[in-house]
Amino acid sequence: MKIAKAEFAVRRAWHRFSALIEYYLRFLPLYRHWRRKQKLAGLELYYAQMRKFEERRLAQRLETLEAWKKTRGGMA
């Protein structure tokens, strides 16, 4: 009787383990695809923010240059 219980326990454990492996193998590509999509979306957002920041910085530099030219009487 004890042997039958042990065999049943081993069989159940193996079934759970194999089901877990099957689940992992089935959904891993979907998860990877989703993560890559999220990562790319994050990068796009980051680059958009950086571009906006750079444009603002360049506009500011241009403004200061124009103001400097006016104060110096256009000597430069």
- Whole-number Å distance between alpha carbons of 73 and 27: 69
DSSP helix/strand/coil, 28: helix
Distances (CA, A) of 66 to 52, 55, 56, 71: 21, 16, 15, 9
pLDDT in tens, 24-70: 999 999 999 999 999 999 999 999 999 999 999 999 999 999 999 88
Q: How far apart are CA 35 and CA 57, in angstroms?
A: 33
| Contact indicator for 76, 69 with CB cutoff of 8 Å | yes
Structure confidence at residue 1 as a pLDDT band (50, 70, 90): confident
Q: How far apart (Å, rounded) are the C-alpha atoms in residues 67 and 1?
A: 95
Instruction: Give the global pTM.
Output: 0.50
